[in-house]
Amino acid sequence: MPTSFITVQQHILEEQRRFPGSSGEFSSLLSGITMATKMIQDKVRRAGLSDILGEYGETNVQGERQQKLDVFANHALIHFLGLRERVGVLASEENEQPVIVHQGSEDANYAIVFDPLDGSSNIDVNVSVGTTFSILRRPDGVTLHEPDQWVLQPGSKQIAAGYVVYGSSTILVYSVGNGVHGFTLDPSLGAYMLSHPSMKMPKQGPYYSVNEAYRESFPEPYRDYLDRLRSGALGQPYASRYIGSMVADFHRTLLKGGVFLYPPTHENPDGKLRLLYEANPIAFLAEQAGGIAIDGKRRVLDIEPESIHQRTPIIVGSQVELTDFGRLIG
């Protein structure tokens, strides 16, 4: 069958056949994500025609001013994922504490953590935004009365992760630990169709992506590394590309190769991206596509989280760029 005829639901059912004893759980979980993200993309598409632009008027747990679309996206994901009987805990960037659903259900064995709308401040100027998500299985012996323990697991424990980019087209990228696959939303069908099977990150790319306005606040090894990229020390000069929506910047890195950096700064020595629902999903996808993701010293997926909204630096990208960074850091 041509890939353009394969929906994301069909694809995930095929993927599940590779895992003995699978009972269709991933298909159910992913259907909640696809339904919510279709609603979010519809709001994004009509953002200038409806009262959805601008600030909501409240501040989230991160200390950031919530946008109206942040709130809508968060409610949509909680609603549709909360309908899935297999889901026991939901954790969002917009909520201070995890949300417990289906309390007492023996079938509730999964936690889903997500950033409902990454880069939402860019909506007002019509720049790409996205949604990230990570799926974790409930650890043995942990009850619903311990929701933090459902999600405080290293990224290596993820059983699936992905993101959606709302841009010139809407694309869903996901992995269940067996490669990375991309699906473009066909508006005429209302379905995500397979458009990027078995995605692989090039071993070396032409771009680096970082907010260079903070360069003087980066640790010296990061500044030296940027100089190496620009000077051609890796065999070619690199061009700078920075969108300001983490999902969009990583999506370009996944497709074209290169490196995306969000270093520590004087103001944010622990980094700024959230480990559980931003860095971990991106790192999972990067490794599945043949790339590398580190926090500057160690593999992102090996970090043991201590809090739900923990932050981390991240350097993610192609093998050539990350290997060179590792030598520079020592």
Tens of pLDDT, residue by residue over 116-149, are: 999 877 877 888 999 999 999 999 988 888 999 9
Q: What is the CATH number of domain 207-329?
A: 3.40.190.80
Q: Where in the chain is the domain with CATH 3.40.190.80?
A: 207-329
Which two tokens mark 324?
């060179």
Q: Widest CA span of the chain, in angstroms?
A: 59
Q: What is the CATH number of domain 3-198?
A: 3.30.540.10
Q: Where in the chain is the domain with CATH 3.30.540.10?
A: 3-198
Quote the CA–CA distance of 19 and 25 in Å, as a whole number: 11
pLDDT in tens, the chain (330 residues): 556 689 998 888 887 776 544 556 778 889 999 999 999 999 888 776 555 555 554 555 555 556 788 899 999 999 999 999 889 999 999 999 999 987 667 778 999 999 999 987 787 788 899 999 999 999 998 888 899 999 999 999 999 999 999 988 999 999 999 899 999 999 999 999 999 999 999 999 999 999 999 999 999 999 999 999 999 999 999 999 999 999 999 999 999 999 999 999 999 999 999 999 999 999 999 999 999 999 999 999 999 999 999 999 999 999 999 999 999 887
- pTM, two decimals, is 0.93
